[in-house]
Each structure stands twice: as C-alpha cells, then as structure tokens.
Chain A
C-alpha cells in the first residue's frame, strides 16, 4: 500500500462520478452513482484491512502545500477510519434506496449524493484544520439541496432552518480556528491536538467550537432543525443525515474540543451533561407523542446522541469508546430505521403512523427486520446499541452518578416510544385496506436492510472488531484528558443543579 494515495482516490472516485452524473440520463446516473459508491466501499475495506492496529497514530498520510499557506493534508487514525467506514458503507445503500423513489432530476440528485460522500470522507480524513473547515461546512450545501429540491411539501422551510441553524456556529468556529493557528503556528490537526493552549483562552475557544458542533450533534435546545429536516428529506437524505452528518458533531468534539481544550472541556462538563440529561428526558418524552414516523425517529436520534455526549465527556476510556460505538451504531440503526420508514412510505406515501397497522400480517420479513432495528435502538444486548450505551453509561457513572442516573432513564423511555411505534405500525388489526395490501420487502429492499442487520449484530456480539482500531487513539486521548479531568472534576459536580456525586468513586470504594 505504501505510496498509493488511497484517501485521495477515495475522494476522487465519487467526485468524478458526481461530475459524470450531471451529464447523463437517469438510468446511467443511477448506475454511475452505484458504481462509484461501491468502489469507495471496496476501497474502504482495503483501507481497513491495511490499517495497522498498534502502528502509527496517523496512517495513510498525504500532504501537499497549496497556495497561501493552505495545506492539502490527509491522514486517518482509528477513530476517523471507523467513521469513514460508516460513510462508505451507508452510501451504496442510500443510492439503492433512491433507485425508484427519485424520478426527477436524477442526475443532479446522484451528483449531490456523491459530492456529499466526498465531503464526508474529506471531513474525517482532513489533517489540516482549514481543510477540515471547508469539508465540514461545505457538507451543508449538498444536504441543503437534497432537502430543498427533492424534499417533501414543506421542504423550503426545512432546508432554510437546517442551513440557518448549522451556519450559526461556523463563523465563530472559523474565528477560533484562525486564532488557534496564529497562536500555535501550525494548522496541522495532529500538532494542534498536542498543543497546550492557555486554559483561559481555551474557555472561549471551546465555546466557539461548541456553537458549531452542538448544532450538528444536535444537542438540546438547538435540535429543532433536525425533526423538520428529517421529515422533509427524501429517505436517503434522512439516512445520510442521521447516519453520518450527525456524527460530524460528535467527531468534532472528540477530534477538537476534547484533545485541544482539555481544561475547558472539564470546565464545561457540567454544561454538556446538563444539556445531555435534558435532551434524554425531554426529547424522549416528545418522541412518545409523535404521530409522524420520521419525526419520532428524529427525536429519538437527539436522545441517542445525548448519550454519545455524556460518554465523550465522561473523561475515561469506557465513556469515550462507548460514545464512539454509539455513533457507529446509531448511524447504522437510525439509518436502517429511516429506510424502514422509506419502505412503507414508498408504498403508501404517508408518514402518519395511524395510517398503518398490522403490517406483521402482510409484510412478515419487513416486520422481522424492523423489529431487529427497533430492538437495536432500544439497546438490547446482542445488538450494537447495547455495547455503546453500556460503555458510555458505565463511563459517565464514574464521573457522575446523577448524570448516569438521568441518562439511563433513557433506556426506559426509549423502550416506551420505540415499542409504541412498532406496535402501531406492525401489530394490531389491519385497519386500512391499502396498508393491508402492501407487498412485503422486494429483493432490492432486502438487499439494503440485510447488510445493516448483519453489522448491527456483529457489532453487538463481537464489538472488538470495531474497538480495536480505535483503542490506541482513545488511550492517547484519555491520557491527555487525565491531567484536566481529576483536578476539575470535583469543581464540576458540586453545583446547585447537579449535586455532588461524582467525587466519590475513587475515595469511597477501596
């Protein structure tokens, strides 16, 4: 593999495909898109297979100086590798999901998706902070177009809201980046991750990055763009939005906020926990009363991503690894759930839960897969959802039993809203004749869902495959956080809002 610029190739393949799609008719565009995403998936597998676990922190490094101090620098560690794998795995599925559902402007649509893939991989692979910024922010544009052009009835409002929200933070983040580069004298992310900024400055820098990442995650209360965006987006758009775009926020926290501003991260841990605790309870309750399938799953995403946040800000290995595994798991599971919604939406053209019912009778295969993903979303042991949730919550318990307690109530509420959804869709009598007449999964649909199901179980039974590549990087991060965590931990938890509970572990036990 030495010398072969695989990351660049992975960016170029979809880029070339995107350009090609613009100039051909619909059937050809579909094929090109599928081919490009499959090639990228194959390259991803090669990438993973050649990733040397326990080797250098940064692998497949490429670097070239461009104009005016810009550097084109790519390279990945285990964390980025896993997220890239998630992206390239979901992309062919998205193309497949759009095969028949999208009939207008197919070429442009496929181009938007392929461009999306370029930008997502670029975001995870970028080693230069400005290159990251461009990929990160530009990712908005194809998503904006996908919602705004191929979306539902209220797509303009949703697209606008999505764009407005996610742009708010980016200006602040850019200013912060400029300051950092000026201060540290480098724009290389690996160097910045080792640079110790002044704790005072960290506070402001953290908040600037927080403004951008919190919206992307999304954290309560800046989450309200997500339900609208999901509801209006076409199925594949929802899959990629929930599957990968939300992970950009979490990736931002783990790549920038935590290693670059450890003191500030510890200082603001109460803020992160507080917002996450609020999100778990509030958005789960909101999910309980939804009538729209996509909105329900969108709200559940907010609750799940909140568990990611408590995990990442638990300042220990279990929390960090748990947060990462939830991100991967949620990417798969929520993507699959949106596909499940898409399957029946394509047949009946409504997202109204009450219009369905009794689908287990006429769509048994669908009912089985939907049940599997429902259970994975609930976090049933044996599925990917459990491993992530368990590690993440075990991590936060070591930091604060209050945060752990409130976040763990999510397992009750999550079961309530997901089973309530499943019951209304798959169980009960067949009340609507048109819903009762829907055919079971087609071979194409089965082909989209089955691989996700397989990975969900794989990650649940043998998560080592996914944990191993990230282990060394999480270890490094944990060591870096170590110096901040204990000292400020005591300060953090003793607050009026969050009573002191976190200090006890060490001294209490032994």
Chain B
C-alpha cells in the first residue's frame, strides 16, 4: 500500500524541485525530474489497477497527517485506494506521464519550460489528492488545487491578455460551482456529523425520503438538497451547461494542458465525485433526475456548438463538454459503471485527439483555424493516423453483432443502452438527446478530419503561415501569437468559400518530433483497445467494483436486453453523421455555407455559443462592476463619509473654538485628559 505515497507525492516533490530550482538547474533537469517522477508514478499505478482488476482486493486507507480537529469536526490527510481510485490513478498518471513526454517536443522552444513542467506536475499531485480523498474536505483540497494548476496553465503565456482573461474566467466560474460544493460539505457535516466519505455513504441510505432540511428558507428533502449542492460543484469543474463557459476559453493554454487537464483528467473530476458519492445520490432520486437532465442537455447543446466552430481546439473542447454530458447522464440513470467506463476510454481518445491537434498546430506554425488547414494527410501522416484512431474511437465505430469496436463504441453504446433500460426519471429524454448528440459527434469529428487532412491546402491565407514563410520556418516560434481570430466577431465570414483560400503559400509542414509521436502511439493503442479489453470488468462485474460505486446489477443486466434497434441506434447515427460530413465537406463544399445562410439567426445563435458569454456579461460581470462603483462612490463616499466623519468635521469646524482646539492635534493632552477622566470615574465608582 505504501506505493500510493510515492505515486501521490512524487509529482509534488518533482513540481517543487522544478518550480523552485528550475532557474538554477536549468530546464533540462526540471524536465527530467518531473517526467521521471510521473513515469515512476505511472509504473506504480498500473500494478494497483491490475490488482483490482483481478478482484478480491479490499480498499485501503493510508493516514498521512492530521489536518483539522474542531469540536466534533475532524478530517485528516488520508490516501484512500479502492477500485474507483485505482481507475483514476492509471488514467491520471498515464495521461500525465505521456503529456509530460509530449511537452518535451511541443514546448521545446519555450523559454519557461521548467515553470511549465512544474505546473504540470503540481496539477498531477492535486488531481491525485482529489481521487485518493477519504473525506470531502481533502477532495475539496484537490478540487481547488487542480483549479489553481488549471488557472496557472491556462494563463501560462501570461503576456497574452486573452490567456489571462481565460485563466481568471476559469477560476471564477469554477468558484461559482465551489460555492455549491462548500455549502454541500457544510450541509453534509450538519446532517451526518462527519465529512468522512465512507461514513456518509454508510449513513445516507437510511435518510432516503425520510427527512427534511431547511435551506434558504425552504424545507426540502435532505439528500436532494445535499446532492444537488455537491453536484453544482461538479457542474463547475466538469463544465456542464450553465457553468461550462470557461472550458472553451481554457483552450488559451498550451495544447498539452488541454489534453491533460481539459480533456482527460480535471474536467472528469465532477463525474468522479458523483460516482464516488453514488450511494448518496442513489438515495436522492430527485437529484439524480437533475443530474440526468443537466448531463443530457449538455451533451446535446455542446455538440451543436461543436459543429459550427472553426478553431480546431474549440471543436475538441466542445466535444469534451458534450462527452462529459454523456458521463453525467449515465450516472444520472444509475449506470455509474458505464459513466466511469466512458471516463476511462474518453481519457485516452480525447487526450489523443488533443495531442494530435497539438501536433497539427505544431506543424502549422500555431495556426488553429481549420479554414486554413486542408490536405495535411500526406504531409503529417503519423499525426493523421493518430487523429484517425481518435476519431474512430470518439464516434464509436464498431461491429454491433460481434461487440468489437474502438474504445468509444463500447462505452457510448453502454451509456445509451443503460439510458434506454433505466427507469430513472428523464432517462428517455437522455437516450434521445444522447442519440442525436451521437449523430452530431460523428458529424463534427469527421468535419474536423476532412477540413484538416483532406481537400486541397488552404494555408496561404493564414497569418501564422505567412509569418513562418517570411521569417523562416526554423526561427524560434512566437509563443505569444496575436489573438486567435475570435470566433465571435466575424459572423459574416464565418463560412468562407474555400476556393478563395486555396494554396500552400510555399509552406511545408513537418511531422512532429519523436517525443510527441510516442505519446500519440501509446494513446492510439488506448483508443483502439481500451473499450474492448476492459468493457467486461467495468460494465458487468460487481466484484470488480467491490462496493466502490453503487453498482446496479439489475440495470446492468437489463441494458443487454434492450431492443435491437436501440443497440444499433448509436451505430446508425454514427454512419449518418459520417455520410453528412462526407457530403458537406468532401463532395459538395458549398453546402455548409448555404446551410448556414439558410438557417440565419439559428446558425448565428449556435455559432456564438448560444450567447452564454454575452448573457453572463450582461447579467453578472457588468452589473458587478457597476454595483462596485455605485457602492464605492455613492455608498461609501457619497453617504457614509459625507454624513459620517466629514459631517462631523463640518459640525466641529463650525462649532465652538473650544471644540476645535480640542480636536486639532494636541493628542498627548487629549490622551492625558482621557486618562485623568478615567481615573476619576473609576475612583468615583469604586469608593
């Protein structure tokens, strides 16, 4: 069990060495230490996971240090390992180690590499603390720790205003979720008298429907309100509808960060939390219905936006948002195993897609707009193949009859089948929205592939490419490129006529270095095989879970008995999406523009991301600043000071000369008077 200590703390130690000593030791040592630490952690994590896969291993808890003792509240620094943790351990350490390695190539020319690697390792430490938490407060520690690392990494290129804005937005929006999480912890402590997760989960079922609690003047079912509060925290971290606005902007960070934090690990923390607390959620059906609806709505709405974006990273970001929605509604309908399974497979194929996109961006000299890609299949073939595997995985390609397919085939089908089979509230809605979203997933994924790798090169118009051509390809990359064309401000040119932009501009993309290709290869393996290999354990083995989640044996059985059409639904829509993308982007490239024009305002609404940013700016951000100025100028200065101290001063100034002389600075005499008065008063009282 002690290997868990090394797994968790090796990244922390590496981060401190690289962060504090990076300037002295140089970037190479910093990179070596952090990457070495992560590979060590990864090497120790897989045996733990395989042990649990073999079954029969009981959960263990390692006590590290007391943390807080306050009255009857007590929580410690503890590392818990059970099946759920073991899954997260391999996901986190594997993707993190690969991303560290990838960054050797991707960040090669960055002057601040040691800082970058320190942040990556710090993030990994915080994420590991989150998944090994044995109490809600340590989970919150990890929760905030990953938030800090995410903030630092999104704003890594801190000279760039847009990166800073995105970093602050990510932190503050997450804090809105944290408000819910914190209140949830307080409420949980109030009800259960503990923050220890196992104790809470043991006590929760007894309260089902049997108790009420007051919250903000209302009287509501105890577990419902607690679960919803905690889930609001999960919504923030996992970018669910309403609190998702930070995730697309988070793409300002370097691409390896997007792969690690904003695809594979941190954003899945919310799903992990719901699964970790699944016995409690199971006892709160209304909260589960809420989870289902939010998850289904997110998976649908994010997919619509994903179909319209031009920035390659933003497409994948909305795709992530959408896939997280799948995981949540899987949890909402009671299929926690399926949710975790999708989390597991998604980590591999989404990290692959992001790292592949990074490789494309690397080759295209930091151009991220797919309108300026095209024809890259032959230029960067290895990246192409990696992206292809990722796309096959996310769209869920497989043979239903044989039950063999790429990673996403197994996990997404399981989720849709579970949604169909479940009797939970709104599970039908979730099934239909999930199926439609699967069609859109297929469409936008292939759209990305076709725009990037097929067709003729459209590189000539790209400022980045022009910059590269004119200034020589090999000079150090400009790591603070001008603001990416903001998707919002050129609606009229949103869908260009591709024929105007064709041409290579004399540019020759290069395949990425081997440090970047190895992670792509390993993750490709995951994208191909993770679903097939682990499907049985995650979905069908209660013994594998061993009580780590609320395992619904009935549902897991039922989902295999759904009608044939349901089984084929995902595959059918996948093919439809593919055909649509082929038609619109390979056969008749004028279709997207015409469709967009015909849809008019609807297209604009979707293209501008359902106007959430505009709405929040108008409702929250601007009023906050306006209110701040109001309270300051009209409140503090205009009212309190005016009638308070300044008013008194005015009275005093026009008062008697005596008063003025007393107030005008002979402080020592004033103090003396005070003291004498005090002595006199005391004497009078006591004698």
A residues touching B (Cβ–Cβ < 8 Å)? 68-70, 130, 133-134, 137-138, 141, 144-145, 160-161, 163-165, 174, 178, 181-182, 221-222, 224-225, 227, 282-283, 285-290, 316-318, 321-322, 358, 360-361, 364, 375, 380-382, 386-387, 390-391, 393-394, 397-398, 401-402, 404-405, 408-409, 411-413, 415-416, 419-420, 423, 426-429, 461-464, 467, 471, 475, 478, 499-505, 508-510
Q: Chain B CB within 10 Å — which of A160, A401, A420, A475 has the most?
A: A401
Residues of A within 8 A of B215 (CB): 401, 501, 504
Residues of B within 8 A of A504 (CB): 212-215, 219
Contact A364 B23 (CB under 8 A): yes
Residues of A within 8 A of B635 (CB): 282, 286
Is B159 close to A, CB under 8 A? yes
Residues of A within 8 A of B108 (CB): none
Contact A405 B183 (CB under 8 A): yes
The residue that A285 contacts in the complex, of B161, B179, B187, B627, with Cβ under 8 A, is B627
Residue of B nearest to A389 (CB): B182
Interface pairs A-B: 5 shortest CB-CB? A504-B214, A317-B71, A499-B217, A397-B186, A381-B141
Q: Known: A182-B685, A462-B65. Contact between A318 and B71, CB under 8 A?
A: yes
25 contacts between A and B (CB under 8 A): A69-B682, A141-B671, A164-B645, A282-B635, A283-B631, A286-B636, A289-B629, A317-B71, A321-B71, A322-B70, A358-B159, A380-B144, A381-B141, A390-B68, A397-B187, A402-B216, A405-B183, A412-B176, A416-B175, A416-B624, A419-B168, A428-B161, A462-B65, A463-B67, A508-B213
Residues of A within 8 A of B644 (CB): 165, 222, 224
Q: Known: A69-B687, A282-B631. Contact between A391 and B73, CB under 8 A?
A: yes
Contact A427 B155 (CB under 8 A): yes
Q: Known: A397-B183, A509-B222. Contact between A224 and B214, CB under 8 A?
A: no
Is B261 close to A, CB under 8 A? no
Q: Known: A393-B182, A411-B175. Contact between A401 and B214, CB under 8 A?
A: yes
Q: When chains A and B are docked, how far (Å) is the Cα of A317 from the Cα of B191?
A: 16
Residue of B nearest to A225 (CB): B645
Is B178 close to A, CB under 8 A? yes
Contact A500 B217 (CB under 8 A): yes
Q: When chains A and B are docked, how far (Å) is the Cα of A11 from the Cα of B14?
A: 46
Residues of A within 8 A of B379 (CB): none
User: Of the 9-residue stretches B55-63, B366-374, B672-680, which lies at the interface with chain A?
Assistant: B672-680
Contact B675 A134 (CB under 8 A): yes
Contact B682 A393 (CB under 8 A): no
Residues of B within 8 A of A287 (CB): 628
Is B211 close to A, CB under 8 A? yes
Contact B71 A316 (CB under 8 A): yes
Residues of B within 8 A of A412 (CB): 172, 175-176, 178-179
Contact A419 B171 (CB under 8 A): yes
The residue that A286 contacts in the complex, of B65, B144, B628, B678, with Cβ under 8 A, is B628
The residue that A375 contacts in the complex, of B148, B219, B671, with Cβ under 8 A, is B148
Q: Known: A289-B629, A504-B219. Contact between A137 and B667, CB under 8 A?
A: no
Residues of B within 8 A of A285 (CB): 624, 627-628, 631
Residues of A within 8 A of B23 (CB): 364
One digit per residue, 1 when the CB lies within 8 angstroms of any chain A CB and 0 when it does not, for chain B 624-659 equals 110111011001110011001100110000000000
Please give the distance in Å from A157's CB to the nearest CB on chain B: 9
Q: Known: A133-B678, A224-B645, A322-B70. Contact between A508 and B211, CB under 8 A?
A: yes
Tell me the B1-59 residues at the A interface (CB within 8 Å). Answer: 23
Q: When chains A and B are docked, how far (Å) is the Cα of A19 from the Cα of B167?
A: 52
Residue of B nearest to A415 (CB): B175
Please give the distance in Å from B152's CB to the nearest CB on chain A: 8
The residue that A416 contacts in the complex, of B151, B172, B683, with Cβ under 8 A, is B172
Residues of A within 8 A of B191 (CB): 508-510
Please give the distance in Å from B374's CB to the nearest CB on chain A: 34
Residues of A within 8 A of B629 (CB): 289
Q: When chains A and B are docked, how far (Å) is the Cα of A55 from the Cα of B129?
A: 37
The residue that B679 contacts in the complex, of A68, A381, A401, with Cβ under 8 A, is A68
Contact A409 B179 (CB under 8 A): yes
Q: Please, how many residues of chain B have a CB less than 8 angstroms from a CB on the other chain? A: 79
Is B185 close to A, CB under 8 A? yes
Contact A415 B172 (CB under 8 A): yes
Residues of A within 8 A of B179 (CB): 408-409, 411-412
Residues of A within 8 A of B631 (CB): 282-283, 285-286
Please give the distance in Å from B249's CB to the nearest CB on chain A: 14
Residues of A within 8 A of B685 (CB): 178, 181-182
Contact A461 B65 (CB under 8 A): yes
Q: Known: A161-B645, A181-B686. Contact between A467 and B69, CB under 8 A?
A: yes
Contact B145 A415 (CB under 8 A): no
Please give the distance in Å from B313's CB to the nearest CB on chain A: 21
The prevalent SS among residues of B at the interface is: helix
Is B681 close to A, CB under 8 A? yes
Residues of B within 8 A of A404 (CB): 183, 186
Q: When chains A and B are docked, how far (Å) is the Cα of A390 from the Cα of B668?
A: 43
Residues of B within 8 A of A419 (CB): 151, 167-168, 171-172
The residue that B222 contacts in the complex, of A130, A413, A508, with Cβ under 8 A, is A508
Is B158 close to A, CB under 8 A? yes
Contact B141 A288 (CB under 8 A): no
Residues of B within 8 A of A471 (CB): 69
Q: When chains A and B are docked, how far (Å) is the Cα of A419 from the Cα of B166?
A: 12
Q: Chain B CB within 10 Å — which of A144, A390, A409, A463 has the most?
A: A390
Contact B145 A381 (CB under 8 A): yes
Residues of B within 8 A of A500 (CB): 214, 217
Residues of A within 8 A of B67 (CB): 461-464
Q: Chain A CB within 10 Å — which of B175, B178, B207, B219 has the most?
A: B175
Residues of A within 8 A of B68 (CB): 387, 390-391, 463-464, 467
Q: When chains A and B are docked, how far (Å) is the Cα of A361 from the Cα of B111?
A: 11
Tell me the B172-194 residues at the A interface (CB within 8 Å). Answer: 172, 175-176, 178-179, 182-183, 185-187, 189-192
Q: When chains A and B are docked, how far (Å) is the Cα of A360 from the Cα of B624?
A: 28
Q: Known: A130-B682, A505-B190. Contact between A428 and B632, CB under 8 A?
A: no
Is B539 close to A, CB under 8 A? no
Q: Known: A69-B687, A165-B645, A178-B682. Contact between A501 and B217, CB under 8 A?
A: yes
Residues of A within 8 A of B72 (CB): 317
Residue of A nearest to B165 (CB): A423
Residues of B within 8 A of A427 (CB): 155, 158-159, 164
Is B137 close to A, CB under 8 A? yes
Residues of A within 8 A of B486 (CB): none
Residue of B nearest to A364 (CB): B23
Q: Known: A141-B671, A289-B632, A397-B190. Contact between A508 and B212, CB under 8 A?
A: yes
Please give the distance in Å from B18's CB to the nearest CB on chain A: 13
Contact A415 B171 (CB under 8 A): yes
Q: When chains A and B are docked, how far (Å) is the Cα of A412 from the Cα of B232?
A: 14
Please give the distance in Å from A262's CB to the nearest CB on chain B: 18
Residue of A nearest to B221 (CB): A508
Please give the distance in Å from A119's CB to the nearest CB on chain B: 12
Residue of B nearest to A412 (CB): B175
Residues of B within 8 A of A413 (CB): 624
Contact B182 A390 (CB under 8 A): yes
Residues of B within 8 A of A182 (CB): 685-686
The residue that A137 contacts in the complex, of B192, B212, B674, with Cβ under 8 A, is B674
Please give the distance in Å from A499's CB to the nearest CB on chain B: 3
Residues of A within 8 A of B683 (CB): 68-69
Q: Known: A224-B641, A509-B190. Contact between A317 and B70, CB under 8 A?
A: yes
Residues of B within 8 A of A282 (CB): 631, 635
Residues of B within 8 A of A398 (CB): 186, 190
Known: A409-B179, A500-B214. 5 other contacts (CB 8 A): A181-B685, A289-B628, A415-B175, A463-B67, A510-B191
Is B474 close to A, CB under 8 A? no
Contact B213 A509 (CB under 8 A): yes
Is B140 close to A, CB under 8 A? yes
Residues of B within 8 A of A405 (CB): 183, 216
Residue of A nearest to B217 (CB): A499
